[in-house]
């Protein structure tokens, strides 16, 4: 699960990582008030779940509250890589002497947590990795030992030369690691981590940006993090509704709605529909248990998509019992108007029982995937004509 920069900064602050002051705004007026409170030059930053905000015009400096208002208005009207900007972060702007990159992620090829640090901060780190890999220092953490002091020194000495900065950096590495492990992250990133200019005041390290992605499986340990999920992201609304009902749903572009049990079979079903000349409208996995209500819910969710011309139910019963699926389908028919043809393919646990249930209600189900897919693709095409 992705969260926004302003949320990640709140988390960093709770863990003691120095961040710039600022708050989230939904309107230009709110942005202006925040700028007044901060009383300094501010940076206005679009809060969307994609990279490259700066290049898209989603990050701008404002020198006073009035300018903040007009810049906020502009940014709130933007669409960045297809995502409308509905929130902005207004944060104090700081002078920068130098920018660094610090990130923690998982390297699944070696099954370890890895620290990535670089003197090339403030730019797209994946580009750096591709063009100047020598600029990135990788430090692998043994999961059974955790982050060791020598590893923090290794990274701090590689990036900084002043004693103060080295100490601050080691402290930040430790705290970022605590964020990563403490909240079951799959990414915790500061890009850039900056040093402010040396002058009369003390030069210090600050996290100017923050990015955190949570491991979806880890959320079960941190139910409070669910509150950080951005409900404004329209695309996710159905996905959340599905998840709350024990389903996994992902919307696609085609015209054949899919209801399948098991993730692998659900993907394979989409692939076969395409192979036979159709286009899947969604991925939907009803999961392992077989509660008839899940089928009702699945229909409710996929039929919201007006492009759908036919529905394909493909079930290979294991834990999922075919008769539960059949009962679910009948229940769905009772509760709503299913205005498109439904093609059913059933195999596995309680298949015969399911056929009896369906036949008594004048439905029929295929046993062969090939026949069923051929049929559903044909019906969807007819529906489009």
Any idea which residues carry the catalytic annotation?
Answer: 101, 189
Q: Which stretch binds another protein (CB under 8 A): 6-14, 87-95, 202-210, 364-372?
A: 364-372
- Measured from the CB atom, the residue of 36 and 253 that comes closer to another protein is 253
For the CB of residue 279, give the shortest distance to another protein in the complex, in Å: 8
Candidates 10-18, 71-79, 312-320, 335-343; binding stretch for another protein (CB under 8 A): 312-320
- Please give the structure tokens belonging to residue 236: 């996710």
Report in angstroms how near the CB of residue 232 gets to another protein at its nearest: 18
Position 106 contacts another protein (CB under 8 A): yes
HSE at residue 306, side-chain half, CA atoms within 13 A, is 0
Q: Which two tokens stand for residue 141?
A: 């953490």
- Establish if 244 lies at the interface with another protein (CB under 8 A): no
Q: What is the DSSP letter of 162?
A: S
**Residue 43: in which H helix or E strand, if any?**
strand 42-46
378 binds another protein (CB under 8 A): no
**Contacts for 44 with CB less than 8 Å, ≥ 6 apart:** 31, 59, 60, 61, 62, 68, 71, 72, 75, 88, 89, 90
- 234 touches another protein by CB under 8 A: no
Instruction: Please report, as residue ranges, which positions from 142 to 161 form the binding site for another protein (by CB under 8 A).
Output: 142-144
Cα-flanking dihedrals φ and ψ of residue 128, to 5°? -60, -45
Burial 8-26 (b: 16+ CB within 10 A, else e): bbbbbeebebebbebbbbe
Which residue stretch of 22-30, 33-41, 212-220, 377-385 sits at the interface with another protein (rule: CB under 8 A)? 212-220
Nearer to another protein among residue 268 and residue 303 (C-beta): 268
Assess 349 for contact with another protein (CB under 8 A).
yes
Q: Which stretch binds another protein (CB under 8 A): 155-163, 293-301, 347-355, 376-384?
A: 347-355
Asked if 266 and 288 count as a contact pair (C-beta separation under 8 A), the reply is no
> 253, 281 in Cβ contact below 8 A?
yes
Binding site for another protein (CB under 8 A): 106, 108-109, 111-113, 126, 142-144, 181, 184, 186, 215-218, 220-221, 248, 250, 252, 260-268, 270-275, 280, 283, 285, 288, 316-320, 347-349, 368-370
């Amino acid at each position: 699960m992705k969260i926004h920069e302003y949320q990640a900064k709140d988390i960093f602050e709770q863990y003691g990582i120095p961040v710039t002051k600022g708050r989230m705004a939904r309107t230009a007026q709110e942005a202006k008030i925040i700028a007044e409170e901060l009383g300094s030059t501010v940076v206005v930053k679009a809060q969307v779940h994609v990279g490259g905000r700066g290049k898209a015009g989603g990050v701008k400096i404002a020198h006073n509250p009035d300018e903040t208002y007009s810049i906020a208005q502009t940014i709130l009207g933007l669409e960045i890589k297809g995502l409308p900007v509905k929130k902005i972060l207004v944060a104090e702007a700081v002078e920068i002497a130098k920018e660094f990159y610090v990130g923690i992620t998982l390297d699944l090829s070696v099954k370890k947590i890895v620290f990535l640090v670089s003197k090339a901060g403030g730019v797209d780190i994946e580009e750096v990795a591709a063009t100047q890999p020598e600029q990135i220092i990788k430090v692998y953490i043994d999961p059974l030992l955790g982050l060791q002091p020598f590893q923090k020194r290794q990274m701090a000495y590689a990036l900084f030369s002043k004693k103060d900065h080295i100490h601050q950096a080691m402290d930040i590495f430790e705290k970022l690691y605590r964020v990563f492990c403490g909240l079951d992250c799959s990414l915790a990133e500061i890009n850039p981590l900056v040093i402010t200019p040396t002058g009369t005041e003390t030069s210090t390290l600050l996290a100017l940006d923050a990015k955190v992605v949570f491991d979806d499986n880890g959320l079960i340990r941190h139910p409070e993090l669910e509150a950080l999920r951005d409900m404004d992201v329209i695309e996710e609304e159905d996905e959340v509704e599905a998840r709350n009902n024990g389903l996994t749903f992902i919307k696609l572009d085609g015209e054949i709605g899919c209801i399948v049990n098991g993730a692998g079979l659900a993907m394979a079903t989409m692939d076969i529909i395409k192979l036979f000349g159709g286009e899947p409208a969604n991925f939907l996995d009803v999961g392992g248990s077989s509660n008839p209500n899940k089928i009702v819910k699945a229909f409710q969710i996929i039929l919201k998509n007006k492009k759908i011309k036919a529905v394909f139910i493909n079930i290979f019963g294991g834990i999922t019992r075919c008769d539960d699926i059949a009962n679910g389908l009948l229940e769905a028919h009772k509760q709503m108007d299913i205005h498109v043809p439904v093609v059913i393919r059933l195999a596995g646990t309680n298949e015969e029982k399911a056929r009896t249930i369906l036949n008594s209600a004048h439905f029929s189900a295929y046993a062969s995937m090939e026949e069923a897919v051929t049929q559903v693709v044909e019906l969807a095409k007819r529906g489009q004509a």
